[in-house]
Each structure stands twice: as C-alpha cells, then as structure tokens.
Amino acid sequence: MRAPVSDLPISFENVTVTAGAVTILDGISLTLNPGTPTILIGPNGSGKSTLLRTAMGLVRPSQGRVTWSGREDVPPTRRAIVLQRPAMLRRSASGNIRYALRASGVGRTEQQSRIDELLALVGLGQLADRPARRLSGGEQQRLALARALARDPAILFLDEPTASLDPAATKAIEDIVHAVSQRGIKIVMATHDLGEARRLAGDIVMLHRGRVIETGPAASFFNTPQTGEARTFIAGELLVCPISGRT
C-alpha cells in the first residue's frame, strides 16, 4: 500500500476569521512544519483556539486560505484535536476508545490490542472499565488524548489541555505530549502557561489581538524576544485584548 500523503506543512496565507463584527484572526500568515512541538502562546482571547480549529479544518477563513501540504479542502483523516473541555461518551474508558477506533475503520480483531496500548500510553490501563464520566478531570483529559490518538493522526492539536489541572495531572499530560512527539506525531498546542511552553516547545508562535506577533525556536524566543509584546508577556506583565469574544 502507498503511504498516505502528509498534511504537513500547514500553511496560513493571510487568513482572517470574523464572527459578526469581531475579527478573531487578523491576516495570519504562518507555516506549521513537521518536527518538534509548536506551542501557541498569548493572553486569553488572543486567537489561539480559533487558530487551532482553523488548522484542523473546523473553521473556514473569512479571507485568505489554509493549505495542507499545498492542498486545499483536505479531509481531516490524518488530524485530530483535543479541546479544553472534551466530552466523554456514556461508556467506559475502553468503550470511548473503541468508539473512536470503529469510526476510524479499525477492524474488530485489532481493537482490543489498540485499546490496551492506548490506555497504557496514557496511564489508564487499570481504569479500562471505569465509566468515563466518573474519571477525574485529569483522567478524562488523558482519555481524550488516547481517544484522539485512536485516529492514528499525523498531527495532534491540543487546546490548553492542562488548564485547571493540578501539578500532578499537568505533569501526566506533559509526559504524554513528550511521548507522542517522540513517536513522530506533530503536536500543535495552545497554552498561556509560560512554564509549560518552556518545557514542551520546539518552536513558539505568539498571538495577540488575533495577529502573529512573533515566531521562532523556543530558546531564541525566551532568551532574546524580538518584540515589545513578547518581552512584556514573558515578564509576566499584562497584555490586554480589548475586543471581547476572541477564543
């Protein structure tokens, strides 16, 4: 069988996304390349979530275009996304993953071994039969990661997966991100936690007011930021998004 064509790089060409009178993304030109994790940072309301959804193909640009390996309107068969508050199906932990495997066309004979593998990857092997909605917040987020990985994606988008989690649960999620990245899956993740960005990022994209302010390797970004906005944000000072409704 011929290997599937990659969706990478993902290119934004002067992409604007509006909702009514609100501009959420404003003239974004950006390329997401294969390799180490790309971390999106910026204050709440800067456009990180919308950029992820647009890269996934869930949001269509109002202006400009997005291409996946030079192609437009590509079905998201090699892409998966985990939202900040993922919904759990009324099934067990293993049942949630089985549902995703079936939807991805994985045969019945392969499903159990894949379920066992994915639950082990996210540290939930002992909770396979636990109702998903009775898991803790951190456990549900790990299950959501496993369920997304059941699609066998080449690219995994994560929208603030550690928001509201305690330090132990946050470390568990970050460990999974490291493990997934080492398997060759491209991670594109939004966070407003600078410590997390330092720990995970290969490269940084900083957003503010729906615009890309600065991009570059993580070490260079944190050691020698090139813009005033980046220096302000790294210093922990307030960057205000004056337009409400950005996500």
For the chain, 247 residues long, give each residue's pLDDT as a single digit of tens: 334 458 999 999 999 999 999 999 999 999 999 999 999 999 989 999 999 999 999 999 999 999 999 999 899 999 999 998 899 999 999 999 999 999 999 988 899 999 999 999 999 999 999 999 999 999 999 999 999 999 999 999 999 999 989 999 999 999 999 999 999 999 999 998 999 999 999 999 999 999 999 999 999 999 999 999 999 999 988 776 554 445 5
Q: Is residue 109 part of a domain?
A: no
Please provide the size of the chain in residues: 247
Q: Is residue 49 part of a domain?
A: yes
Q: Is residue 117 part of a domain?
A: no
Q: Is residue 156 part of a domain?
A: no
- At 25, the amino acid letter reads L
How far apart are the C-alpha atoms of 209 and 231, rounded to whole Å?
16
Q: Is residue 34 part of a domain?
A: yes
Question: Rounded to whole angstroms, what are the CA distances from 223 to 74, 85, 147, 216, 217?
Answer: 37, 33, 36, 11, 10
In the chain, how many domains are there? Answer: 1
Q: Is residue 121 part of a domain?
A: no
DSSP secondary structure code for residue 104 in this structure: T
Name the phi and psi angles at 13, rounded to 5.
Answer: -120, 100
Q: Name the residue range of residue 237's domain.
A: 1-78+199-247
Which stretches of the chain are assigned E, i.e. beta strand? 10-19, 22-32, 38-41, 63-68, 79-82, 155-159, 186-190, 203-208, 211-217
Domain of residue 61, CATH code: 3.40.50.300
Check residue 193 and give its pLDDT: 92
Q: Is residue 43 part of a domain?
A: yes
Check residue 242 and give its pLDDT: 52
Q: Is residue 12 part of a domain?
A: yes
